[in-house]
Structure 1
């Protein structure tokens, strides 16, 4: 069995990625926020130029599926009219920024994100395709479980900090110097061999022994702590709503666009800005205890050409059997795109079914459904 192909880059709008159901076009909302007209426009473009299926990615982006070579051009024109298109593939790739959704007007978060995006446009070095930035400047960081290589956070003393992912210290900065300091760290990563030695990720580069410049060792970051978990419900900034596997129909996004501005989260949820109460719309997960929140699954076959089995029908069927407080990850191939790294119980697709554990046999979906409780029994 051949190994899955690792692309090493993420799709964009200008540089889409081919999948089993057409081109995947990723839209990167500026500051992680969509005005109602932008959200409504994306929904309309998805229906007109794609298959009407919209994904939320783990980097707080919006993906349109089912786009064809012929419809890609008109789609780009529509995104440009909405102010959602970068001037070039290089600029789009560099603007890989995830922003905490829990910001308040005037707290400086959006200004920091805008300054970083502006600085990245002309001056960033040639960074790897997945290299990213996180603006996570609340009193408690919430994006440490989200992939990023350079993080803007608050230090243990409550000051603004620029930190390399994988480091416990960073550089004290001001809102005026944060963006340039982040670029200085990105340049050091490139100049110190980070691209060639660590598959392009900051934490791996540091783990191999790279020593940060002194300025990035001057202030202590907040300690790691337990990663926060978020679920649908009311938060100070509005209402969080979820979607099964982070996927919705264009009609759902169009209906949400008629409510308030939307903030896209890296937890495959949307935050409806300023809303209090649960919107009565089909396709939303609004119950924090919904079993579908305990399963993670990639697109699977046939939507992904590298997937060896369908994933989401099995994940949906097993959801009710996942104990509260646990997670099940059903992956269509060894890349485990939907949840990289260790964590939940994982079923890995193979040609003969799904494997649970390194040495066990591959089991069919039917066999797994007959005894789902064995997945969560201690070995």
Structure 2
């Protein structure tokens, strides 16, 4: 299916991406956390240099939208001052680490992430989309999240190193986890993995030291809106929040910081109250079952508007829904019960499919889509 361009790289602060509403500048929170003052400053910068819209990405990153070329370097300077961007562009590119958000100081996830952060300068040059996953809680939380080189809780209770595309991994002793991740990245590079682009597409057999038969432990339940151990979890509809709304969520003096997740959930540390207009505090909200990219005109690759349609459809559909502006499917890479893919200004509808899959109905106008699902 035509209609989109695979760029083959991911934006960051030093290499922003042009979109339909300006430059998109990505911020990669260290340890999946921002202190309260950092959040408030980030919100102010999104208003000052962007259009006041902040994305929460599937890699647990923030993205400031609507930045113009003239203001981009000044924005990056402000982000560096906040310690949200590395002054070394190469090191910033290497910080592709997805970390389980409910870590505590000194636990396995925190320890390994800090160890890996200190070893980023030892990594080879990797394709831009290649990344690491640190999921070392009492049970895995991110088995469904993309990541090439992974440390996870294994079925026997210990930690395992696992390469994407392999169902099992090898035991990782305390203190060896980050060195093993670095070594696996070097093996990937030296064995031609760069040509494959991602670990799961790399056909070379793993080295003996990275080969094991230990499966990940059964996963834990995902975070949903409401009180959690660290504070209050709030959903960002379709992974997007206005800067003013996010600042309001941190206005509670008890709020000490924010944890960002790959599930469109924000955990406000110390908070105990929801009720923030623009964020979701009801775990039954149907919007939580719907994936939708920014769509047109906010993305130059999209030929259709997405989120207004997704919001109208959400209460009418049982199960998951993905409304994608193009066949690239950025908002959701897995199959959903219903998938609408934009093509040449209209939609194709598929069931139990990913964006761009073979459709059962094609060339649908938005009004036809609404009528199909019984939405007046």
- Taking structure 2 as the reference length, what is the TM-score of the superposition? 0.92
- Name the residue aligned to 1:261: 257
Residue 204 of structure 1, aligned match among 197, 201, 218: 201
> 1:61 and 2:64 equivalent?
no
- Name the residue aligned to 1:168: 167
- Name the residue aligned to 1:275: 271
- Name the residue aligned to 2:95: 95
SS in 1 for 2:323: strand
Q: Given the superposition, is the C-alpha separation of residues 41 and 213 from structure 1 closer, same or farther in structure 2, using an over 3 Å criterion?
A: same
Q: How many residues were matched structurally?
A: 364
Shift of 1:264: 0.2
Shift of 1:155: 2.1
- Name the residue aligned to 2:321: 328
Q: Deviations over 1:29-52 (max 9, x none)?
A: 000000001101100111111110
SS in 1 for 2:119: helix
| 2: CA distance, partners of 1:289 / 1:142 | 20
Shift of 1:359: 4.5
1:1-379 equivalences in 2 (<5 Å) = 2-120=2-120, 122-196=121-195, 198=196, 200-205=197-202, 208=203, 210-218=204-212, 220-222=214-216, 228-258=221-251, 259-276=255-272, 278-323=273-318, 326-357=319-350, 358-372=359-373
CA contact (8 A) 1:86 1:92 kept: yes
SS in 2 for 1:169: coil
SS in 2 for 1:356: strand
Shift of 1:228: 4.4
CA contact (8 A) 1:37 1:257 kept: no
SS in 2 for 1:347: strand
- Taking structure 1 as the reference length, what is the TM-score of the superposition? 0.91
CA contact (8 A) 2:290 2:310 kept: yes
Structure 2: which 5+ residue stretches go unaligned?
351-358
Q: Deviations over 1:101-141 (max 9, x none)?
A: 12223313222112112211x11011010001011001211
SS in 2 for 1:104: coil
Structure 1: which 5+ residue stretches go unaligned?
375-379
